[in-house]
């Protein structure tokens, strides 16, 4: 079949592939996290510009409708692939054939050239996008979000390495994609140095933050909403509970602070917000047990993943938000917290040096030693003047990131990829005619 030519200008319709997690899911538990927010926010922003977006994701329940509206102009298609239940990511490669079949069947109901570009998220979706690209004759833009080789080089103690299957799958997608979108310049270099990506195909596009939702506000009201004392020293973590995200580092640091400053114990609150995910599902009570063994169970409060305004309360209520991950391609939580006027103490890994301006909007900590983290947390939370300075800078720093700006760059990447794809098709046809 002769493929249709992609449009010369911005795309009219975008097919977004997100095999293992849906933008309709609540971030902070299971496999739902920053990627869900990324897809939801950029798809909605594209729809505001008149670009139709359809997100293909795996159906995990028979109660899910075949098609759901995420926002005006954004549809989520639930594709049956395997049992109607959540599957571990290690089980999903066996369902890629079924998922791909469902995606191709959905497209077959439309006229040829219905979608102008495919944007796949995570390597599983990239495998599907690679085949759809060849079938539909449209360019494939891929965002990895995380990379196996990078994760395996910085494993948390006791965590499980990413399998060779994923490494091979990522290498294939990197080779086949027309454009690769990296969250930071660090990730762009990793794609080139570790995966052999063509530098000409890599574009760096920072994720954004919802600057209308995440804004500074009353710390007193936020604490009242969460039932926290007004004079507490609040150290917060928000994210999936798994070794990669390292919430245990915050607990160890909090225990070290309590040991150094016994008078702090009565005022200290360690707020852990999120649900078990990944290898964290194997020992869902491990973090509570760690808090008890460290002697800070009474100071530690656990909350399930918080939606919308409730998450804003978490950020505003905290004296400091900790992001101690062993690897982050960007660190969306860090930017959301800063947009609320809360300084961040983060690990100096991956994209976090972009998300946090060290010494300006927060502090970066090399390594994960409890003593180093206790020093950094104390330098922010226990020094009101310093905290106020960082808080003001945090808001300014966060405003560098917006989903509008992210979407601008994505649409430009789609348009560029389509132009290059169209030119390559024209050359191939001319060569075929010449022969």
Residue-wise pLDDT tens digits, 211-231:
999 999 999 999 999 999 999
Residue 42 lies in a domain: yes
Provide the 3-class DSSP secondary structure of residue 88: coil
Q: Are 173 and 141 in contact (CB under 8 A)?
A: no
pLDDT tens-digit map of 154-167: 888 778 899 999 99
Please choose, from the candidates 253, 227, 262, 402, the residue with its C-alpha nearest in 3D space to the C-alpha of residue 320: 253
Residue 170 has pLDDT above 50, yes or no: yes
Residue 177 lies in a domain: yes
Q: Are residues 393 and 416 in the same domain?
A: no
- Answer positive or negative: Cα dihedral of 340, 344, 347, 351: positive
Q: Are residues 91 and 33 in the same domain?
A: yes
- 26 labelled binding-site residue: yes
- 327 labelled binding-site residue: no
Q: Which residue has the higher pLDDT, 261 or 154?
A: 261
Q: Are residues 19 and 115 in the same domain?
A: yes
- 89 labelled binding-site residue: yes
Residue 1 lies in a domain: no
Q: Are residues 346 and 203 in the same domain?
A: no
Residue 250 has pLDDT above 70, yes or no: yes
Count of domains forming the chain:
2
- 13 labelled binding-site residue: no
Pairwise CA distance, residues 325 & 98, whole Å: 34
Q: Are residues 275 and 338 in the same domain?
A: yes
- 240 labelled binding-site residue: yes
Residue 224 lies in a domain: yes
Token pair 């660090």: residue: 186
Q: Are residues 197 and 288 in the same domain?
A: no
Q: Are residues 141 and 240 in the same domain?
A: no
Please state at what angle helix 308-317 crosses helix 219-226, rounded to 10 degrees. 120
pLDDT tens-digit map of 308-340: 889 999 999 999 999 999 999 899 999 999 999
Pairwise CA distance, residues 2 & 16, whole Å: 23
Q: Are residues 52 and 164 in the same domain?
A: yes
Residue 5 lies in a domain: no
Q: Are residues 189 and 240 in the same domain?
A: no
Domain limits for position 299: 219-398
Residue 283 lies in a domain: yes
- 36 labelled binding-site residue: yes
Residue 6 lies in a domain: no
Average pLDDT along the chain: 93
Q: Are 215 and 340 in contact (CB under 8 A)?
A: yes
- 35 labelled binding-site residue: yes
Residue 214 lies in a domain: no
pLDDT value for 4 = 58
- 34 labelled binding-site residue: yes
- 107 labelled binding-site residue: no
Q: Are 316 and 340 in contact (CB under 8 A)?
A: yes
Q: Are residues 370 and 415 in the same domain?
A: no
- 338 labelled binding-site residue: no
pTM of structure: 0.91
Q: Are residues 384 and 429 in the same domain?
A: no
Average pLDDT over every residue of 241-260: 95
CATH number at residue 291: 3.40.50.2000
- 328 labelled binding-site residue: yes
């Amino acid at each position: 079949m002769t493929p249709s030519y992609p449009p010369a200008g911005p795309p009219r319709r975008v097919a977004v592939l997100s095999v293992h997690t849906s933008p309709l899911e609540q971030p902070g538990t299971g496999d739902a996290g920053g990627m869900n927010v990324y897809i939801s926010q950029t798809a909605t922003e594209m729809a505001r510009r008149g670009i139709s977006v359809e997100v293909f994701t795996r159906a995990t329940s028979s109660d899910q409708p075949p098609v759901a509206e995420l926002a005006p102009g954004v549809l989520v298609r639930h594709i049956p692939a395997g049992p109607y239940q959540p599957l571990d990511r290690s089980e999903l490669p066996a369902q890629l054939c079924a998922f791909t079949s469902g995606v191709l069947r959905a497209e077959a109901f439309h006229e040829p050239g219905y979608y102008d570009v495919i944007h796949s998220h995570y390597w599983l979706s990239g495998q599907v996008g690679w085949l759809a690209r060849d079938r539909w004759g449209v360019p494939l833009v891929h965002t990895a979000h995380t990379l196996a080789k990078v994760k395996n080089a910085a494993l948390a103690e006791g965590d499980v390495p990413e399998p060779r299957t994923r490494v091979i799958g990522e290498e294939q997608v990197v080779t086949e994609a027309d454009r690769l979108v990296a969250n930071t310049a660090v990730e762009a270099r990793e794609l080139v140095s570790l995966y052999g990506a063509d530098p000409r195909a890599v574009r760096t596009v920072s994720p954004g933050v919802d600057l209308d939702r995440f804004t500074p506000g009353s710390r007193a009201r936020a604490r009242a909403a969460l039932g926290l004392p007004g004079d507490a020293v609040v150290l917060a973590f928000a994210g999936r509970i798994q070794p990669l995200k390292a919430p245990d580092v915050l607990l160890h640091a909090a225990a070290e602070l309590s040991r150094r400053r016994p008078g702090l114990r009565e005022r200290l609150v360690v707020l852990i917000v999120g649900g078990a995910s990944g290898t964290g599902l194997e020992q869902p009570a491990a973090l509570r047990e760690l808090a008890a063994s460290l002697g800070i169970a009474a100071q530690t409060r656990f909350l399930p993943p918080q939606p919308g305004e409730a998450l804003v309360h978490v950020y505003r209520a905290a004296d400091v938000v900790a992001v101690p991950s062993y690897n982050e391609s960007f660190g969306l939580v860090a930017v959301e917290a800063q947009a609320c006027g809360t300084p961040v103490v983060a690990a100096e890994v991956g994209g976090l040096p972009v998300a946090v301006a060290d010494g300006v909007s927060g502090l970066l900590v090399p390594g994960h030693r409890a003593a180093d983290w206790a020093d950094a947390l104390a330098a922010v939370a226990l020094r009101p003047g310093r905290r106020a300075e960082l808080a003001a800078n945090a808001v300014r720093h966060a405003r560098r990131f917006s989903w509008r700006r992210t979407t601008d760059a994505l649409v430009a990447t789609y348009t560029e990829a389509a132009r290059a794809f169209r030119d390559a098709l024209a050359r191939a046809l001319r060569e075929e005619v010449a022969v």
